[in-house]
């Protein structure tokens, strides 16, 4: 059962919390998220952006096409099995905020299953006079007769939590409830929770995560709940997790020290016991086995286990001091662990072999060894498998590819048979398109792979409009996926789409990520530049036809590209970006990412950050490509001040900048399908305008 690390929970500082403003920054006032002056500026910028782009003839048809795709009833309704039902969250034209609904496994196999509404967010938003955005539900195991529903105002990471009765389809009167905050919460049992939230002064870290874990019993006041663990204010944050499998129940604490290091504790008795594993490892549990994923080499029990390995040992042996682990995954050159999950009796290991997935099933044997057999899956594209429920060996298999509509299968480990449950229709015309994989050579000689999707037999005279997408951070791998928005907006119209697998990502394991950390961040940018240069060298495109796109950390990548190599690109789409790297650690969740970028308040670290920070390196008198910068007012993860200030600075320097800020949606394209359609249509209309 996979445990969620604190860094992935998304518990961040409130929007109203703005740190001290740096002196000498003429646009610091734009950090005041809801300030009248700042919002007046935003509205003026939005009016210009929409006026220019929505007036173009392609915007209206593209927007309507995208909205019809996003609202289509033929989309795959991905589900989570809880007890006798499959649960799904669904948005369409009639349900803008969305429906949380359910059906039976038998009904789900039908082409048009009958769904039962459990919670209508549109109706709830109207009655509460709020713009609720769904953030998920946690069921109490094993009864599953109660769940904790999380809702956000406008799509940010800050949520309210309310206990819900799925049988009665109603919130539980007098049940567990948390006010709006960057909280984590998990069931301990039906009548108690582990919770971390804003308990008052001193209860949150500098990064905006809870630093205190409490055990909260039903009917008792939250203020008086027992403190289980307390971290330090300088930590990233502290959380609890509960692993429940048939016959096995374990409780954990994770104290997040930095972006990539944590202390892990097993809760046994009154005092949590720290687990003797490397602080940069990830831990998990499977039945009676303790699983550890390593980010660096670990010498233990007379052996050295390599970075990127997945290792396992029985819990009783580990707690007794044993360190003779079985190796479930051994990394190899260009082969990395994508993910690992489990069913009742097996562990499923998903390997990434040169950015292509391979699945294996591992089963513990009585003699302490593990049996490893391949799990048959399509050879193309991106493949993933996950458990249906802890009580069985059933699994869902998802298959996707750039050109083949995504599919969802149901299988049982040990049986060769699989049932096709759902498949997307062809949302765009892929006839004549092909996928190829290439490599560029970066500045330091490293080979950097990238995928290219294009029409067969395209001319190599540099005339092809090309969109290069990148991210390159936080050990996140970019793999092939069917994107109706890319297909309908770009590929169908003759454009070339390129996906970059640059360092900083996880495509080749921890070393690929660690190669671009902190003082080595420039390597990620050099990799991206090398792909752009390779596309030009191969004659696929030319600078005036080459556009680039990225969001969040990828938005930082976009900012670096315009300040370092503006000569390479004809247009840039920069989404929800980090850009002011001098201030990032003082804005919202920025402090939690210092393990990735470094601490700008330490002079030695600012020395290397300052070399690429876009906001500090933008210059007047240099020809920059046209840039579209987008963000959300309700993004409480990456502060919208980054995007606002960069746009204002570029405008003052007389560069060609277009700015658009959505009023809600959090750290994403939007909270509703209509908002998503608008954001995508603006971006692709801008690219079409600049690159063709």
What pLDDT is stored for residue 22 in this prediction? Answer: 52
What pLDDT is stored for residue 17 in this prediction? Answer: 30
Helix residue ranges per DSSP H, 301-386 = 315-319
Find the helix or strand (DSSP H, E) in which 488 lies: helix 484-489
Report the alpha-carbon distance of residue 222 to residue 215 in Å, rounded.
9
Scanning the structure block, which residue is given the tokens 């209508």? 120
What pLDDT is stored for residue 378 in this prediction? Answer: 76
* Mean pLDDT of the residues in the chain: 94
What pLDDT is stored for residue 12 in this prediction? Answer: 27
Comparing CA positions, the residue from 235, 654, 680 lying closest to residue 484 is: 680
Q: What is the dihedral of CA 293, 295, 299, 300, to 10 degrees?
A: -20
Report the alpha-carbon distance of residue 289 to residue 312 in Å, rounded.
6
Same structural domain for residues 603 and 468?
Answer: yes
Neighbours of 326 (CB within 10 A): 16
Same structural domain for residues 167 and 249?
Answer: yes
Strand partners, 253: 240, 265
Same structural domain for residues 533 and 625?
Answer: yes
Same structural domain for residues 56 and 89?
Answer: no
Scanning the structure block, which residue is given the tokens 């662990």? 337
Residues 589-601 have a mean pLDDT of 96
Span 625-661, pLDDT tens digits: 999 999 999 998 999 999 999 999 999 999 999 999 9
Do residues 235 and 224 lie in contact, with contact meaning Cβ atoms separated by under 8 Å?
no
Residues 557-584 have a mean pLDDT of 98
- Three-state DSSP state, 408: strand
- Three-state DSSP state, 363: strand
Q: Is residue 327 part of a domain?
A: no
- Per the residue annotation, which of 552, 576, 585, 592 is the catalytic one? 552
Dihedrals phi, psi of 566, to nearest 5 degrees:
-65, -20
Structure tokens at 85: 């039902």
Comparing CA positions, the residue from 627, 684, 616, 632 lying closest to residue 651 is: 627
Nearest-5° angle of CA 568, CA 569, CA 572?
Answer: 145
Report the alpha-carbon distance of residue 207 to residue 253 in Å, rounded.
18
Report the alpha-carbon distance of residue 269 to residue 4 in Å, rounded.
22
- Per the residue annotation, which of 63, 513, 655, 667 is the catalytic one? 667
Whether 376 has a pLDDT exceeding 90, the answer reads no
Q: Is residue 377 part of a domain?
A: no
Could you give the number of structural domains in the chain?
2
Residues 271-277 have a mean pLDDT of 95
Nearest-5° angle of CA 576, CA 580, CA 584?
Answer: 85
Report the alpha-carbon distance of residue 474 to residue 472 in Å, rounded.
7
Strand partners, 86: 81, 103
The last residue of one of the domains, among 240, 275, 310, is 275
Long-range contacts of 251-256 (CB under 8 A, 24+ apart): 251/188, 251/194, 252/3, 252/283, 253/213, 253/228, 253/229, 254/3, 254/5, 254/6, 255/229, 255/231, 256/5, 256/6, 256/7, 256/209, 256/231, 256/592
What pLDDT is stored for residue 21 in this prediction? Answer: 40
Report the alpha-carbon distance of residue 564 to residue 582 in Å, rounded.
17
Residues 227-255 have a mean pLDDT of 96
DSSP string, 612-651: T-HHHH--TTS-PPPEEEEEETT--SS-THHHHHHHHHHH
- Say which CATH number the domain at 542 has: 3.40.50.1820
DSSP string, 60-111: HHHHHHHHHHHT-TTS----EEETTEEEEEE--SS-SS-EEEEE-HHHHTSS
- The pTM assigned to this predicted structure is 0.95
Structure tokens at 133: 């955005």
Q: Choose between 251 and 381: higher pLDDT.
A: 251
What pLDDT is stored for residue 217 in this prediction? Answer: 97
Q: Is residue 129 part of a domain?
A: yes
Span 479-508, pLDDT tens digits: 999 999 999 999 999 999 999 999 999 999
Strand partners, 469: 499, 549
Q: Is residue 676 part of a domain?
A: yes
Which residues have a Cβ under 8 Å from the Cβ of 308 and sit 6 or more positions away? 294, 295, 329, 331, 336, 337, 509, 510, 511
Report the alpha-carbon distance of residue 82 to residue 87 in Å, rounded.
7
Comparing CA positions, the residue from 582, 624, 622 lying closest to residue 605 is: 582
249 is catalytic: no
Q: Are strands 347-353 and 357-364 parallel, antiparallel or unpaired?
A: antiparallel
Whether 692 has a pLDDT exceeding 70, the answer reads yes
Peptide bond into 142 cis (omega under 30): yes
Q: Is the dihedral of CA 220, 271, 212, 637 positive or negative?
A: negative
Q: Is residue 595 part of a domain?
A: yes
Report the alpha-carbon distance of residue 119 to residue 100 in Å, rounded.
5
What pLDDT is stored for residue 6 in this prediction? Answer: 35
Span 1-23, pLDDT tens digits: 444 433 333 322 222 233 334 55
Q: Are strands 357-364 and 303-305 parallel, antiparallel or unpaired?
A: unpaired
Q: Choose between 14 and 251: higher pLDDT.
A: 251
Report the alpha-carbon distance of residue 534 to residue 513 in Å, rounded.
22
Same structural domain for residues 42 and 120?
Answer: no
Same structural domain for residues 104 and 237?
Answer: yes
Residues 344-363 have a mean pLDDT of 97
Same structural domain for residues 440 and 573?
Answer: yes
Q: Is residue 199 part of a domain?
A: yes
The number of residues making up the chain comes to 692
What is the domain range of residue 507?
Answer: 30-68+427-691
Span 47-60, pLDDT tens digits: 999 999 999 999 99
DSSP string, 137-165: EEEPTTT-S-EEEEEEETT-S-EEEEEEE
Report the alpha-carbon distance of residue 94 to residue 189 in Å, rounded.
37
Same structural domain for residues 201 and 129?
Answer: yes
Report the alpha-carbon distance of residue 222 to residue 199 in Å, rounded.
9
150 is catalytic: no
Whether 400 has a pLDDT exceeding 70, the answer reads yes
Helix residue ranges per DSSP H, 199-270 = none
- Three-state DSSP state, 544: helix
Whether 192 has a pLDDT exceeding 80, the answer reads yes
Strand partners, 80: 87
Neighbours of 600 (CB within 10 A): 23
Q: Is residue 261 part of a domain?
A: yes
Dihedrals phi, psi of 48, to nearest 5 degrees:
-65, -45
What pLDDT is stored for residue 260 in this prediction? Answer: 96
Same structural domain for residues 51 and 119?
Answer: no
Same structural domain for residues 41 and 176?
Answer: no
Same structural domain for residues 106 and 35?
Answer: no
Q: Is residue 492 part of a domain?
A: yes
Structure tokens at 654: 């007389």
Structure tokens at 476: 């996140």
Strand partners, 362: 347, 372
E strands in 366-482: 370-374, 382-387, 394-400, 407-412, 418-423, 433-441, 447-455, 466-469
Same structural domain for residues 56 and 91?
Answer: no
Span 502-532, pLDDT tens digits: 999 999 999 999 999 999 999 999 999 999 9
What pLDDT is stored for residue 373 in this prediction? Answer: 96
The last residue of one of the domains, among 257, 275, 293, is 275
The last residue of one of the domains, among 216, 243, 275, is 275
Residues 380-404 have a mean pLDDT of 95
- Say which CATH number the domain at 93 has: 2.130.10.120
Report the alpha-carbon distance of residue 536 to residue 513 in Å, rounded.
26
Whether 253 has a pLDDT exceeding 50, the answer reads yes
Q: Are strands 147-153 and 466-469 parallel, antiparallel or unpaired?
A: unpaired
Neighbours of 384 (CB within 10 A): 19
Dihedrals phi, psi of 261, to nearest 5 degrees:
-130, 140
Scanning the structure block, which residue is given the tokens 């302490």? 368
Whether 439 has a pLDDT exceeding 60, the answer reads yes
């Amino acid at each position: 059962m996979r445990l969620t690390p604190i860094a992935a929970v998304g518990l961040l500082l409130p929007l109203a919390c703005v740190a001290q403003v740096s002196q000498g920054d003429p646009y610091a006032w734009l950090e005041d998220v809801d300030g009248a002056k700042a919002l007046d500026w935003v509205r003026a910028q939005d009016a210009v952006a929409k006026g220019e782009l929505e007036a173009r003839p392609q915007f209206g048809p593209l927007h309507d096409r995208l909205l019809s795709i996003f609202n289509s009833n033929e989309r795959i309704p991905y589900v989570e099995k809880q007890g006798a039902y499959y649960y799904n969250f669904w948005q369409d034209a009639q349900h803008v905020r969305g429906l949380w609904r359910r059906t039976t496994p038998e009904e789900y196999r039908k082409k048009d299953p009958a769904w039962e509404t459990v919670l209508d967010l549109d109706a709830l938003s109207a009655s509460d006079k709020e713009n609720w955005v769904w953030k998920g539900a946690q069921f109490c195991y094993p009864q599953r007769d109660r769940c904790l529903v999380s809702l956000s105002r406008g799509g940010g990471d800050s949520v309210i939590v309310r206990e819900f009765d799925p049988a009665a389809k109603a919130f539980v009167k007098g049940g567990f409830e948390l006010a709006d905050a960057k909280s984590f919460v998990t069931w301990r049992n039906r009548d108690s929770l582990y919770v971390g939230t804003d308990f008052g002064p001193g209860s949150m870290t500098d990064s905006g995560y809870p630093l205190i874990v409490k055990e909260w019993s039903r009917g008792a006041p939250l203020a008086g709940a027992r403190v289980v663990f307390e971290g330090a204010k300088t930590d990233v944050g502290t959380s609890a997790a509960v692993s429940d499998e048939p016959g096995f129940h374990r409780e954990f604490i994770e104290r997040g020290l930095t972006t990539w290091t944590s202390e892990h504790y097993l809760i046994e008795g009154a005092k949590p016991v720290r687990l003797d594993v490397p602080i940069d490892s990830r831990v998990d549990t499977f039945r009676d086995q303790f699983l550890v994923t390593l980010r660096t080499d670990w010498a233990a029990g007379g052996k050295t286990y390599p970075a990127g390995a997945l290792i396992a040992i029985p819990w009783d042996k580990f707690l007794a001091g044993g360190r003779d682990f079985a190796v479930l995954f051994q990394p190899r050159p260009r082969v990395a662990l994508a993910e690992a999950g489990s069913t009742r009796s097996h562990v499923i290991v998903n390997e990434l072999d040169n950015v292509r997935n391979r699945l294996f099933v591992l089963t513990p044997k009585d003699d302490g060894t593990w049996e490893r057999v391949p799990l048959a899956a399509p050879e193309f594209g991106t493949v993933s498998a996950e458990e249906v429920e802890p009580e069985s060996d059933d699994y869902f298999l998802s298959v996707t590819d750039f050109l083949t509509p995504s599919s969802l299968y149901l299988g049982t480990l040990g049986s060769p048979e699989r049932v096709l449950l759902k498949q997307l229709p062809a949302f765009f015309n892929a006839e004549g398109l092909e996928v190829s994989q290439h490599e560029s050579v970066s500045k330091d000689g490293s080979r950097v792979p990238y995928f290219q999707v294009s029409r067969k037999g395209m001319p190599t005279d540099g005339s092809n409009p090309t969109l290069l997408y990148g991210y390159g951070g936080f050990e996140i791998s970019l793999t092939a996926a069917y994107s109706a928005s890319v297909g309908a907006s770009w590929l169908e119209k003759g454009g070339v789409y390129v996906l970059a697998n640059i360092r900083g990502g996880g495509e080749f394991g921890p070393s690929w990520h660690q190669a671009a950390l902190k003082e080595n961040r420039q390597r990620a940018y050099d990799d991206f530049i090398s792909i752009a240069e390779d596309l030009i060298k191969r004659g696929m495109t030319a600078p005036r036809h080459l556009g680039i796109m990225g969001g969040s950390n990828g938005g930082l990548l976009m900012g670096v590209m315009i300040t370092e190599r503006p000569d390479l690109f004809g247009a840039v789409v920069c989404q929800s970006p980090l850009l002011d790297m001098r201030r990032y650690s003082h804005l919202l969740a920025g402090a939690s990412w210092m393990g990735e970028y470094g601490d700008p308040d330490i002079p030695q670290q600012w020395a290397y950050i300052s070399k690429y920070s876009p906001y500090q390196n933008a210059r007047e008198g240099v020809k920059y490509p046209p840039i579209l910068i987008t963000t959300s007012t309700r993004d409480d993860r990456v502060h919208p001040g980054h995007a606002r200030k960069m746009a204002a600075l570029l405008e003052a320097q007389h560069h060609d900048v277009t700015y658009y800020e959505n009023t809600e949606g959090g750290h994403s394209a939007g909270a509703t399908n209509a908002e998503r359609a608008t954001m995508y249509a603006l971006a692709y209309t801008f690219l079409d305008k600049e690159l063709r």
